[in-house]
A and B are shown apart, each in its own frame.
Chain A
Amino acid sequence: MGRYVIRRLLQAVLTLFFVLFLLHYLLSLAIQVNGNPARTFFGDKPVTAEQLAAVEAKFGTDDPCLDTIGDPCLGMFGKRMGDWLTLDFGTTFHGYSVTEQIAQAVPPTLILFAISTAVWVLIGITAGVLAAMKRGRFFDYLVRTGTTFTVAVPTFLLLVITQQLVGVSLGNWARSTFGRDSFLGIIFQPSYDHDHPFLSLLVPGILLGAFGIAGITRLSRTSMLENLRADFVRTAKAKGLRPRRVTVVHTLRNSLIPVITLIGFAMADALGGTVITEGIYSIPGMGGLAFSATRDNDLTMVIAIVAILSVSFMLVTLIIDLLYAVLDPRIRYE
């Protein structure tokens, strides 16, 4: 166990290093290919070399290695990693500190993720387990058809249509019937509301849960089915245990182990999904920042957010992997 943990940790550190280097290299390459972003600061106005150099220094893009295409800019990499370690992610085009903007954006995103994780666990796993227990019946077909449709309908479409139908149409009705600040009026909103962060994030949070829910539901179903046929379940039944105990303690507990790994993958989907969800619902979270930064072509912001989200995703996968080894002692990656 101890050796596995150390191996896994070392691996994670190595991967982290390469991910950060890849992001840095892409950013340098983008500047080398597209030209120095400091130039766009001036628009069409004529500019002297001193002015340009001053702006380049301000945005930290004054390194001469940025003039040769393909140069990995190792010196800049060291400097950037040092800055990132002290949580300094640079300055946006508009002159704000990236770190401050991101710090303000974390809470809405966390709430959003709490809601969608609840959706995965409460709806996804429950539906999958119930479908397995009612195999071949109506509910099973319903769940299977349902997961197929969630895969087939692109989530951005779901978001757009729900925003318009629930947020605008249903919301307008609720607000005119029950009043602006009624419970339903706040839930059915087409965009984020600063006074009621949790309630107005409920609908987009549930929709964000649609990313990856199909996989979780299906895996819960198949893994439950597999275990229902397993020898140890037959033994438990033969011993005369009560059916509920067989289902919950013997079958369900063992079936959920593989599902835990999939939650990590669902999170990867949902991290990309936050950009779309928060963009469409104009939620001032990290995805929303990335969304507007993409539209403004603000690379410093985009890369900082991608780096932070990737690192948090790596942390979650690491925790899940370690948890997996604890939960299922048979698993050992030599």
Chain B
Amino acid sequence: MSSDINERVEENIDEPAPQRAAGLWRDAIRDLRKRPTVIISLLVIIAVLAIGFFPSLFTGTNPKACDISLNKAPAAPGHPFGFSHEGCDYYAQTIYGAGPSIQLSLMVVVGTLIIGGLLGILAGFYGGWLDVVFSRAVDVFNSIPFLLGAILLLTMFRDLSIPFLSTRLQAIIPAVITLIIFGWTSTMRLVRASVIEARNLDYVQAARSLGASNRRLMFRHILPNAIAPVVSLIPLSIAGMISVEATLSFLGLGVRKPEITWGLMIDDATKWFVNGYPMLLLIPSAFLIATVLAFVLLGDALRDALDPKLR
């Protein structure tokens, strides 16, 4: 499941790379390769993805094996970050805390891309009443502020348990669905705008006059050329979702206990911050900020490279 998502995200980034749309993409890649911030953020992202999907490679300690007599004990050999207020190994907790956030944000971004992208193509290509209906739906969902809507929906269905899911998925799926429901609108608007721009261009008319079907026009001709602005938003939306997930977990609404995430760790550590144990708060915060920062920097660089106008 998880590696599948990873592949799909990769695929989305790589898809238009072949010779067909080479100009923009080759220039962008050449431009990106030269920037040290891009290389560093890519390294951080690869490390975080590895931690998120294969935590056992980084620590042999069980993060849920806690010994209350060790609560808030300082670092010891084999336990570089010390112990949490419940006496769990803090390094193992920090490592395992990456997984839910990373997997959740990737799932949300893939979900918004699929739903927003599909509705955007349909609305932009066909226009007419389809466009009116979808665009009004966007208006409705945009009128409810994102975080507020997420808080509402997650409060309502807090106790809902979905059958046939593992505990891990059980803990993150409600948040994933909620964030997709309130997150698909921006992708839809972007795709719709660039499809409308592209649909009357000469190459589309040429393909149409050769007898290409609507589906072929949409997915083989328009989509590859309309996707650049969406691609540059992927790292930024992953960053945003990681940050929102931490916020929701902090409110007790995101990933549910007993799963471990950085947001929940920060919530637990807040009260110890000025009482002599600042590291309990600073360690998960540093990991969270580094991850979000890496995605933001990559996203900014990608956007600059793909949209030279904005520079």
Residues of A that sit less than 8 Å from B by CB: 11, 14-16, 18-19, 22-23, 26-27, 29-30, 33-34, 148-149, 151-157, 160-161, 164-165, 168-169, 222, 268-269, 271-273, 275-276, 279, 290-291, 293-295, 297, 299, 302-303, 306, 309-310, 313-314, 317
Roughly how many angstroms separate A43 CA and B266 CA in the complex, as a whole number? 32
Q: Check A294 against B251 for contact (C-beta < 8 Å).
A: yes
In the complex the two chains form, is B266's CB within 8 Å of A160's CB? yes
Contacts of A290 in B (CB 8 A): 148, 151
Residue from A15, A26, A156, A310 within 8 A of B148 (CB atoms) = A310
In the complex, what distance in Å separates the CA atom of A313 from the CA atom of B266? Answer: 30
- B124-182 with Cβ < 8 A to chain A: 136, 139-140, 142-153, 155-160
List chain A residues, Cβ under 8 A from B310: 222
Question: Is A272 a contact of B274 with CB atoms below 8 Å?
Answer: no
B147 touches A156 (CB 8 A): no
Identify 17 residue pairs between A and B in the complex whose beta-carbon atoms are under 8 Å apart, listed by A's number: A18-B136, A18-B140, A19-B144, A23-B152, A29-B156, A151-B292, A154-B288, A156-B246, A156-B247, A161-B281, A161-B285, A275-B147, A279-B251, A290-B148, A299-B155, A313-B145, A314-B143
Contacts of A314 in B (CB 8 A): 143
Q: A275 contacts B140, CB within 8 Å?
A: no
B40 close to chain A: CB less than 8 A: no
User: Are B293 and A149 interface neighbours, CB within 8 A?
Assistant: yes
Nearest chain B residue, comparing its CB with the CB of A306 = B152
Asked whether B252 is an interface residue with its Cβ less than 8 Å from the other chain, the reply is yes
Interfacial chain B residues near A303, Cβ < 8 Å: 152
User: Are A297 and B251 within 8 A (Cβ)?
Assistant: no
Contact partner, A164, options B153, B160, B253, B273, Cβ 8 Å: B273
Q: Which residue from B136, B146, B157, B296 sits with its C-beta under 8 Å from A269?
A: B146
Selected contact of B143 from candidates A19, A26, A149, A153, CB within 8 Å: A19
Q: Which of A23, A169, A222 contacts B274 (CB 8 A)?
A: A169
Chain A residues whose CB sits within 8 angstroms of the CB of B247 once the complex forms: 154-156, 276
Whether a CB of chain A sits under 8 angstroms from the CB of B31 is: no
With A33-B160, A152-B296 known as contacts, the answer to whether A310 contacts B155 (CB < 8 A) is no
Shortest B90–chain A CB gap in Å is 17
Q: How large is the interface on B (under 10, 10 to 19, 20 to 34, 35 or more residues)?
A: 35 or more
Taking CB as reference atom, which chain A residue is nearest B285? A157
Contacting residues of chain B (83-138) with chain A, CB-CB under 8 angstroms: 136
- Residue B200 at the A interface, CB < 8 A? no
Asked whether B305 is an interface residue with its Cβ less than 8 Å from the other chain, the reply is no
Check if B300 is an interface residue, CB within 8 A of chain A: yes
Contact across chains for B153 and A302 when beta carbons are under 8 A apart: no
Who on chain B is nearest to A148 by CB?
B296
Specify which chain A residues have a CB less than 8 angstroms from the CB of B252 in the assembled complex. Answer: 294-295
Q: Cα distance A302–B147 when bound, in Å?
A: 13
Q: Is B243 an interface residue (CB 8 A)?
A: yes
Q: Contact between A269 and B147 (Cβ–Cβ < 8 Å)? A: yes
Instruction: Please tell me if the beta carbons of B148 and A272 are within 8 angstroms of each other in the complex.
Output: yes
Interface residues of B (CB under 8 A from A): 136, 139-140, 142-153, 155-160, 239, 243, 246-247, 250-253, 266, 270, 273-274, 281, 285, 288-289, 292-293, 296-297, 300, 310
Cβ contacts under 8 Å, B153 to chain A? 26
Nearest Cβ on chain B to A182's Cβ, whole angstroms: 21
Q: Pick the contact of A268 from B145, B156, B296, B300 — CB < 8 Å?
A: B145
User: B residues within 8 A CB of A19?
Assistant: 140, 143-144
When C-beta atoms are compared, the residue in chain A nearest to B271 turns out to be A164
Contact partners of B253 in chain A: CB under 8 A: 294
Cα-based distance from A181 to B99 in the complex (angstroms): 47
How distant is the Cα of A15 from the Cα of B152 in the complex, in angstroms?
19
Query: Which A residue's beta carbon lies closest to that of B272?
Result: A164
The residue in B143, B270, B273, B297 that gathers the most chain A C-beta atoms within 10 A of its C-beta is: B143
User: Complex formed: what's the CA distance from A19 to B146 in Å?
Assistant: 13
A180 to B119, CA, bound (A): 58
The residue that A271 contacts in the complex, of B148, B157, B158, with Cβ under 8 A, is B148
Given contacts A18-B140, A154-B246, A157-B285, contact A309 B251 (CB under 8 A): no
Compute how far the CA of A23 lies from the CA of B145 in the bound complex, rounded to whole angstroms. 13
Interfacial chain B residues near A297, Cβ < 8 Å: 155, 158
Least Cβ–Cβ distance between B272 and chain A, in angstroms: 10
Is there an interface contact between B156 and A310, defined as CB atoms closer than 8 Å? no
Give the chain B neighbours of A276 by CB distance below 8 A.
147, 247, 250-251
Complex: how many Å from CA A34 to CA B160? Answer: 7
Nearest CB of A to B165, in Å: 16
Min Cβ gap B296→A in Å is 5
Least Cβ–Cβ distance between B149 and chain A, in angstroms: 7
Q: Given the interface contacts A15-B136, A22-B140, does A164 sit within 8 Å of B270 by beta carbon?
A: yes
How far in angstroms is the closest Cβ of chain B from A60?
A: 17
Q: B285 contacts which chain A residues (CB < 8 A)?
A: 157, 161
A294 vs B248: C-alpha distance when bound (angstroms): 11
Flag if B145 contacts A309 (CB, 8 Å).
yes
B250 contacts across to A, CB distance below 8 A:
156, 276
A271 and B148 alpha carbons, distance in the complex (Å): 7
Question: Which of B139, B156, B281 contacts A160 (CB under 8 A)?
Answer: B281
- How many angstroms from the CA of A271 to the CA of B146 in the assembled complex? 9
With the chains together, A291 CA to B293 CA distance in Å? 28
Q: How far is the CA of A310 from the CA of B149 in the complex (A)?
A: 9
Name the B residues within 8 Å of A302 (CB-CB).
151-152, 155-156
Are B140 and A15 in touch, CB under 8 angstroms? yes
With A18-B136, A26-B153, A294-B151 known as contacts, the answer to whether A152 contacts B145 (CB < 8 A) is no
Expressed in whole angstroms, the Cα–Cα distance for A310 and B145 within the complex equals 7
